[in-house]
Homo-oligomer: A and B are copies of this chain.
Amino acid sequence: MLSQKSTIRQERCSRLLAALWYCAHMTASRTARERVRAELTREITDIARRRLATEGAGGLSLRAVAREMGMVSSAIYRYFPSRDDLLTTLIIDGYNALGEAVEQAEAAAPRADHLGRWLAACHGVRDWAVAHPHEYALIYGSPVPGYQAPQDTIPARVRDLTVLAGIIRDAWQAGAVRAPETEAPEELEPDAAALRELMPGVPDAVIWRAVTAWTAMYGWVNFEVFGQFDNTIEHRRTAFGHSMLTMAETMGLAQ
């Protein structure tokens, strides 16, 4: 009994050492094995993403992915410890894809045209969401599994928010924002801290209007992607643009 325990501990210890050694040399040596592993990992996520786009998050099954790869299902677990980990990877990828779409859309507008940048960013979000409804549902819909680890997703999920903050910051510094007459309740003063860092110098009243516009935009996109506008609104892109123009006015973005 004791010797068995000792053996186990020894084994675990040697594994730990091996893992440490592996970590220390990982960056230096790009062995063929590591390359094929990275390649297979990418192939798994690609297939999973494709299946996600057709079946939806609920229908994504590890076994189906394995089958499509010509692998046996247990082999997948060498690459992803669980189905939720695969989903988390897909979520992070989704955040990055959306963030990139927004960044590119916004970057296409002239820097001084703050209203144009806002509208471009909004359409960037909407167009991507409409084109990738299931991926969008994964990142901005109801949380699917028990609960995905939010820690890993933080760096990727703020990319779109950063774009908005940049627009508001630039517009404010350029004097292109009319400050609202009404102030935000003092109670909210500490809550704006994180946002204040993204938009230095911008008064809280403007920040809160930006938050309102932000949630309004995602509210619209949610409604549209999740089918709430079916059989009601046909010209959705136009209606969305008009709605976002209204929100620009609410934010005090000068025409």
Which residues does A use to contact B, with CB under 8 Å? 56-59, 137-138, 140-146, 150, 180, 182, 184-185, 187-188, 190-191, 194-195, 208-209, 211-212, 215-220, 222-223, 226-228, 230, 232-235, 238-239, 242-243, 245-247, 249-250
Contacts and interface: CB of A to CB of B under 8 A. Distances in A.
A249 B194 CA distance: 26
Contact of A235 (B59, B188, B211, B249): B188
Contacts of A245: 182
A9 to B, nearest CB: 37
Given A223-B215, A247-B212, A242 B142 contact: no
A92 B238 CA distance: 31
A212 B140 contact: no
Given A239-B208, A242-B208, A142 B57 contact: yes
Q: DSSP majority for the A interface?
A: helix
Contact of A58 (B144, B215, B218, B249): B144
Contacts of A195: 232
Contacts of A141: 141-142, 226
A141 to B, nearest CB: 3
A143 B227 contact: yes
Contacts of A239: 188, 191, 208, 211
Contacts of A219: 215-220, 222
Contact of A211 (B57, B185, B243): B243
A200 to B, nearest CB: 17
B58 A145 contact: yes
Given A212-B243, A226-B142, A227-B143, A234 B150 contact: no
Contacts of A190: 234
A226 B139 CA distance: 10
Contacts of A235: 187-188, 191
18 contacts: A137-B143, A141-B226, A142-B142, A150-B230, A187-B235, A188-B235, A188-B238, A188-B239, A209-B246, A211-B243, A212-B246, A212-B247, A215-B243, A216-B247, A222-B222, A246-B250, A249-B250, A250-B250
Contacts of A138: 142
A145 to B, nearest CB: 7
A141 B142 CA distance: 5
